[in-house]
């Protein structure tokens, strides 16, 4: 059993707007082990991105957080921002954002931006020649064609897939322990998607990084992740080893999610969208967040919030009536 390098315990994040409160994360608990790829799946507004942004304290100032995020024995939520900036960002955790077309500064060349990232690495390289070699090596590893040409190019001259590879390369050269990939394939073509995911899985193998892979694509995650976390309405509803969660989902939400992926072949009768709308993050809830849309709902579900209970090795369910 490898050790935990990141622990999120009962995280709550509220955005304090002038006239209302947005409950972005209502109760999230999960952990990341060394050298594993963990997938967080959920619809928009489920709280998956905000939970991960909290580990880097990259959220706006007008928020209220509760709970703990523990790395290396420190609770990130209690530390000063300058401490987080010096010790966590880029050092322990680095992040790949969703849209590669805007994740790179348009006015600087690729090489310039990668060199800049090197400045924030744990161990500096120092020598300018060695830096260039290092950068070209990494681009090579990520199968970027003609890296010597690419480093002189500007972001708008490259394709989406290429840009995403460069963004990942930047995260790579920081050599942080953890990489958070926030929907890295969502804005790319399907054919490029798998290439990018292959690149990310190599990070685990060759660079011993642990990865948190956020997506709304269950099938994609099921192919590559060791463990999965399913979130809805700001709460973790189910989590566990991927094959268990994917092949034997116990939360009605996970089951419903699996059913609403349109099948390309085979039994089309199994395709069923989830009725209703996504839970409004401004709404205060008394019971399970999925209750209004759940086929199996009973009276208790709307009155009491179910707790996340352990049902097996690494397996947790939040439901009064799991399958």
Partner 1 sequence: MKISKTSIFYRVTRNAKAMVGIIIVTMVVLMALLAPIIAPYDPYEISLGRPLESPNSTFLFGTDVLGRDVLSRIIYGSRISLIAALSVGLISAFLAVIFGLTAGYIGGKTDLIIMRFVDIMLSIPGIIIAIVVAAIFNPSLFTVIIALSFGMTSGFTRVVRSKALALKEETYVRAAESIGESKLFIMLRYILPNTLGIVFIQIALNMSSTVIFEAGISYLGLGSQPPSTSWGLMLSEASQRLYNAPKTFAIIPGLFILVLVLGLNFLGDGLRDIYDPRLR
Check binding of 117 to partner 1 (CB under 8 A): yes
| Residue 138 CB, nearest approach to partner 1 (Å) | 15
d(C-alpha 196, C-alpha 199), whole Å: 5
Pick 92 or 318: Cβ nearer partner 1: 92
Query: Quick one: which of 150, 168, 174, 285 contacts partner 1 (CB under 8 A)?
Result: 174
Query: Quick one: which of 74, 85, 153, 259 contacts partner 1 (CB under 8 A)?
Result: 85
Check binding of 260 to partner 1 (CB under 8 A): no
Check binding of 86 to partner 1 (CB under 8 A): yes
Query: Quick one: which of 170, 199, 200, 229 contacts partner 1 (CB under 8 A)?
Result: 170
Q: Which helix (H) or strand (E) holds 191?
A: helix 190-207
Pick 92 or 227: Cβ nearer partner 1: 92
Q: What is the 3-state secondary structure (H, E, C) of 87-146?
A: HCECCCEEEECCCHHHHCCCCCCHHHHHHHHHCCCCCCCCCHHHHHHHHHHHHHHCCCCC
| Residue 170 CB, nearest approach to partner 1 (Å) | 7
Query: Quick one: which of 58, 78, 124, 127 contacts partner 1 (CB under 8 A)?
Result: 58
Check binding of 97 to partner 1 (CB under 8 A): yes
Beta bridge partners of 4: 33
Is the Cβ–Cβ distance between 291 and 302 less than 8 Å? yes
Pick 170 or 245: Cβ nearer partner 1: 170
Pick 32 or 170: Cβ nearer partner 1: 170
Is the Cβ–Cβ distance between 76 and 84 less than 8 Å? yes
Structure letter (DSSP) for residue 41: E
* DSSP-assigned letters across all residues of 197-265: HHHHHHHHHHH--EEEEEES-HHHHHHH-SEEEEEETTEEEEEEEHHHHHHS--SHHHHHHHHTSPPSS
Pick 160 or 302: Cβ nearer partner 1: 160
Check binding of 107 to partner 1 (CB under 8 A): yes
Calculate the CA 313 to chain-centre distance: 22
Structure letter (DSSP) for residue 278: P
Binders in 129-168 for partner 1, by CB under 8 A: 167
Binding site for partner 1 (CB under 8 A): 56, 58, 61, 85-86, 88-91, 94-95, 97-99, 102-107, 116-117, 120, 167, 170, 174
């Amino acid at each position: 059993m490898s050790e935990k390098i990141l622990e999120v315990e009962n995280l709550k994040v509220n955005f304090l707007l002038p006239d209302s409160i947005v409950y972005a994360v209502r109760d999230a608990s999960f952990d990341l082990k060394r050298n594993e790829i963990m997938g967080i799946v959920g619809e928009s507004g489920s709280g998956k991105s905000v939970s991960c942004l909290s580990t880097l304290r990259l959220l706006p100032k007008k928020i209220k957080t509760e709970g703990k995020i523990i790395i290396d024995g420190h609770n990130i939520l209690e530390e000063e921002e300058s401490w987080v900036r010096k010790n966590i960002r880029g050092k322990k955790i680095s992040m790949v954002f969703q849209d590669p077309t805007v994740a790179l500064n348009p006015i600087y060349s690729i090489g310039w931006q990668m060199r800049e990232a090197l400045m924030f690495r744990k161990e500096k390289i120092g020598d300018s020649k060695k830096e260039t070699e290092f950068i070209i090596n990494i681009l090579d590893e990520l199968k970027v064609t003609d890296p010597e040409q690419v480093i002189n190019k500007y972001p708008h001259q490259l394709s989406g897939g290429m840009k995403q590879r460069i963004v990942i390369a930047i995260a790579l050269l920081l050599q942080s322990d953890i990489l958070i990939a926030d929907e890295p394939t969502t804005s790319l073509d399907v054919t490029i998607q798998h290439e990018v995911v292959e690149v990310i899985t190599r990070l685990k193998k060759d660079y011993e990084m642990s990865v948190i892979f956020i997506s709304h694509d269950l099938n994609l995650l099921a192919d590559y992740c060791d463990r999965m976390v399913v979130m809805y309405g700001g709460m973790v509803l189910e989590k566990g080893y991927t094959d268990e969660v994917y092949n034997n989902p116990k939360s009605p939400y996970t089951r419903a999610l699996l059913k609403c992926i349109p099948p390309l072949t085979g039994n089309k009768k199994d395709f069923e969208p989830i009725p209703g709308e996504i839970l409004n993050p401004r709404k205060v809830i008394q019971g399970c967040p999925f209750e209004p849309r759940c086929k199996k709902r009973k009276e208790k579900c709307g009155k009491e919030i179910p707790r996340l209970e352990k049902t097996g090795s690494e397996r947790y369910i939040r439901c009064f009536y799991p399958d």
